[in-house]
Amino acid sequence: MRFSILLVSLLFFYSCYESERNCSDFKTGTFEFEAFSGTEVFKTTIVRNDSIEIDFFDGKSDTSSIRWINDCEYVLQKIHPKNQAEKKAVLIKILTTNKNNYTFEFSEVGKTKTSKATARKIK
Fold (CATH) for 21-121: Lipocalin (2.40.128)
Task: For residue 47, give Cα distances in angstroms to 15, 29, 33, 86, 117.
Answer: 34, 6, 12, 19, 17
Render pLDDT for 22-33 as a digit per residue (tens, 0 to 9).
899 999 999 998
Stated pTM of the model: 0.76
Render pLDDT for 77-116 as a digit per residue (tens, 0 to 9).
999 999 998 899 999 999 999 999 999 999 999 888 888 8
Q: Say if residues 57 and 40 touch (Cβ distance below 8 Å).
A: no
